[in-house]
Amino acid sequence: MYLFIFTLLLVIFQFVNAKNIIESYDQKLTKYMEKNSQLEDSIRFMEDNKATDLYSFKFDTNDDAMTYWENDGYRISEFVPFIKDELMSLNIYDAEDHPLVPYASMTENKMLIDQIRMINHKWIAASFTDGTYWGEMLLGYDIEDKKNLKFKVIASILYQP
């Protein structure tokens, strides 16, 4: 009889203990699933933002910047290539130093602007190199009297090879 009672108590103890363990696992699993759902939503949100970030700081997707020049009578389809061509034409120079790049070449090659990104209706980001050294600069630009294009270096940096 004692053996039966002892066995019954042992079975009840194991049942209650197993039930508590299963409930604990269920709570942890539910908590992890909720956290996983939140993290998936965060990842989805960041991926969506990454897609929209591709359009940030880009003249072609900035309606206000395009409207600024359209209101002055410029056609954007001709304006952007004009600005880029004018900036690239500064790569042809006879002097020792580039007219815009604030660093002298430290090699036999000339400093040349190689990439241009129009940010808005006033700023351009450009990179330059002499083949060994390279850097970036932020340029301001403006058109005076609808003919005279002026560039101004706002900030620049030269990287070490």
Q: Please give the C-alpha separations between residue 1 and each of 9, 11, 75, 92, in angstroms, as whole numbers.
A: 12, 15, 101, 107
Confidence of residue 122 (pLDDT cuts 50, 70, 90): very high
Q: pLDDT, tens digit, for every residue of 132-160?
A: 999 999 999 998 877 788 999 999 999 98
The verdict on 42 and 74 lying in the same domain is no
Domain tally for the chain?
Answer: 2
What whole-number percentage of the chain has pLDDT above 70?
Answer: 96
| 1 DSSP β-pair partners | none
- Residue 160, φ and ψ in degrees, nearest 5: -95, 140
Both 80 and 148 in one domain: the answer is yes
The radius of gyration of the chain from alpha carbons, rounded to an integer in Å, stands at 33
Q: Which domain holds residue 7?
A: 1-54
Judgement on whether residues 4 and 29 belong to the same structural domain of the protein:
yes
What's the helix, strand, coil split of the chain in %, to 5?
Answer: 50, 25, 30
CA distance 90 to 129: 14
Q: What is the pLDDT of residues 70-87, one digit of tens each?
A: 998 888 888 889 999 999
Q: Which of 34, 54, 74 is the last residue of a domain?
A: 54
| Gap between the terminal Cα atoms of the chain | 88
79 and 17 part of one domain: no
